[in-house]
A and B are shown apart, each in its own frame.
Chain A
Amino acid sequence: DAGVIQSPRHEVTEMGQEVTLRCKPISGHDYLFWYRQTMMRGLELLIYFNNNVPIDDSGMPEDRFSAKMPNASFSTLKIQPSEPRDSAVYFCASSRGPDKNIQYFGAGTRLSVL
């Protein structure tokens, strides 16, 4: 089975530009998580979905960040406008209830905002 697939793997953009990160969860998983990883703050949960519905978005830094899950096999994380402090590795993970905390991570998207 394919794991969690993220695209792109690397993204370099200029400050002020819109950035869209994409994720395809493992088939049959009903939970999807977006994380951000930096040296300073470690791995931070941004938002998670259950059955395509956002459950907890308290980790989303500010209104510049938004996430959608239009169907069970696709999710996006959008940053508009992007800022240099958004530079980080963004991970998507999926899991299946009732073991929703046993998460399978994608390889991540390394974002650099210049």
Chain B
Amino acid sequence: TQLLEQSPQFLSIQEGENLTVYCNSSSVFSSLQWYRQEPGEGPVLLVTVVTGGEVKKLKRLTFQFGDARKDSSLHITAAQPGDTGLYLCAGVVLLRAGKSTFGDGTTLTVKP
């Protein structure tokens, strides 16, 4: 059983469209990170959220941490081809100090 479930697994959209990807768990997290990975490269950190209900914005990307700290979402406004990549969420389970657990990721393709 995957600790972090990401959905959708694959998403293909046209340039200019909006999209939301989700990261869900039955566990409570002390913090949660979102990464983007491009082909042939390692994941690159986009944001970290630590407070329930927290919303962070990074240009056209909006990240939200659920009130109960069990889930998170990433919303992209007016997607561009440069947003194409694998989006990974990772979290540290509360009271289980140490390593992060990664979700399986959402592969996003934005067509020009």
> Residues on A close to B: CB < 8 A?
4, 33, 42-45, 48, 55-56, 91, 93, 99, 101-108
Residues in B50-102 with C-beta less than 8 Å from chain A = 88, 90, 92, 98-102
Q: Contacts A102-B45, A108-B42 hold; do A55 and B33 have CB atoms under 8 A apart?
A: no
- Compute how far the CA of A63 lies from the CA of B103 in the bound complex, rounded to whole angstroms: 26
Contacts of A42 in B (CB 8 A): 102-105
What is the minimal beta-carbon distance from B96 to any residue of chain A, in angstroms?
11
Tell me how many residue pairs across A and B have CB atoms closer than 8 Å. Answer: 49
Number of interface residues of B (CB under 8 A): 21
Q: Are B99 and A45 in contact (CB under 8 A)?
A: yes
What is the minimal beta-carbon distance from B69 to any residue of chain A, in angstroms?
14
Nearest first, the 7 A-B pairs at minimum CB distance are: A105-B42, A42-B104, A43-B102, A101-B100, A105-B43, A91-B42, A101-B92
- Compute how far the CA of A70 lies from the CA of B52 in the bound complex, rounded to whole angstroms: 40
Q: Are B99 and A105 in contact (CB under 8 A)?
A: no
- Compute how far the CA of A56 lies from the CA of B41 in the bound complex, rounded to whole angstroms: 25
Contacts of B88 in A (CB 8 A): 43
